[in-house]
Amino acid sequence: MRVGVPKEIKDHEDRVGLVPSSVRELVAHGHEVLVETNAGRGVGVSDDIYTAAGARIVSTADEVFATADMIVKVKEPQAVERKKLREGQILFTYLHLAPDPEQTKDLMASGATCIAYETVTAANGSLPLLAPMSEVAGRMAPQVGAHSLENAQGGMGVLLGGVPGVLPAEVVILGGGVAGTNAAQVAIGLGADVTVIDRSLDVLRRLVATFGSRIKTAHSNADNIAKLVTRSDLVISTVLVPGAAAPKLITRELIAGMKKGSVLVDVAIDQGGASETSKATTHSNPTYVVDGVVHYCVANMPGGVARTSAFALNNATLPFTLALADKGWKKALADDAHLANGLNVHAGRITYKAVADALGYDYMETVRALAA
């Protein structure tokens, strides 16, 4: 199979779909890998390094999209990229379609087979291709939150860990999954007063077993969310419903009731965000203010630490990329029900129920796509 890696073009998105070690593995399996020139610059990988790994460097994204059987990316294809996709081509990347009707419409029109990292599952029900970036975004969230709390950024001027004689910031984390756990780890390490809210008692027990008395926990209900959010200095939202739009747990009224200069970091923004006031921002212009609350809603947070993120992502995606290249998408999905859960769009139809429900499309079961 001919596998194509275009340079990412989303704002300050410096990650790359395949790192050299992944290219080497694909080539060893007999595949051809096309990499757009300078695709790896943001992770410190030159064209020469890709060439040494066995890739062929091409000068434009047009050539990558026109000749590759499978496109491997990091972020969802931008509008100009979606026009380059064609019928029968495989797209393997993050998609986050539920809050993005325009992308969904374009992918359906392309006729491509689109497999989303974020809905591929594991035997234990986890999301193995989302987890590495959830780890990165979770660990970044207290860092960017601490920065946003500074006066120069519009924050209230609170140091996350305080100092002797001055209380630390109160940090509330919505969701105790992978991102939430990693956010808690860093926030605790910085000395903050940390509370995690989750609806699963098993998750809360795990957090207490991990962090002991250094963490507080609360069951997720409207009363607890309202009480804790409005008294916090920093709120980090990590809530996730796989493939679906994030639930709006923070209302506009709650935002209005928060402290002036407090901060919301909405890690859930890729799926639409967990606050009614959240809207996607970029690394170039990461924050805005609503009712005195600083909102950080960068939709590709891990792109800010591109080298760490790209290598971490490839560690997880490579086995699936190899399966798709070795077997073709139909056999790879038929052989692996967990990879099959990644199929979101095929031949103009929506094949992931949460996306179909969110956007009002008819749903075609994956088994029907495989049988077609």
* Residue 96 designated active-site: yes
Tell me the two tokens of residue 352: 């992931």
Strand order in the sheet with 263-266: 215-219, 193-198, 170-174, 234-237, 263-266, 293-296, 287-290
Residue 245's H or E segment, with its range, is none
CA distance 113 to 276: 32
Contact 126/181 with Cβ under 8 angstroms?
A: no
**What Cα–Cα distance (Å) separates residue 131 from each residue in 138, 196, 246?**
10, 19, 17
* Residue 47 designated active-site: no
**Which residues contact residue 354 at a Cβ distance below 8 angstroms, ignoring those fewer than 6 apart?**
98, 241, 242, 243, 244
Residue type, 14: D
- Comparing CA positions, the residue from 158, 218, 224, 225 lying closest to residue 192 is 158
Instruction: Provide the sign of the torsion angle of the four alpha carbons 152, 156, 160, 165, taken in this order.
Output: positive
- Give the active site residue among 31, 96, 295, 346: 96
Contact 272/244 with Cβ under 8 angstroms?
A: no
**Which residues contact residue 18 at a Cβ distance below 8 angstroms, ignoring those fewer than 6 apart?**
3, 5, 26, 33, 35, 72, 314, 321
- Comparing CA positions, the residue from 30, 40, 74, 38 lying closest to residue 59 is 38
- Give the active site residue among 270, 295, 336, 346: 270
Q: How many CB atoms lie within 10 A of CB 13?
A: 23
DSSP-assigned letter for residue 167 = P
- Comparing CA positions, the residue from 269, 332, 271, 335 lying closest to residue 299 is 269
CA distance 185 to 142: 9
For the chain, the straight-line distance linking the first and the last C-alpha, in angstroms and rounded, comes to 21
Q: Which residues are catalytic?
A: 96, 270
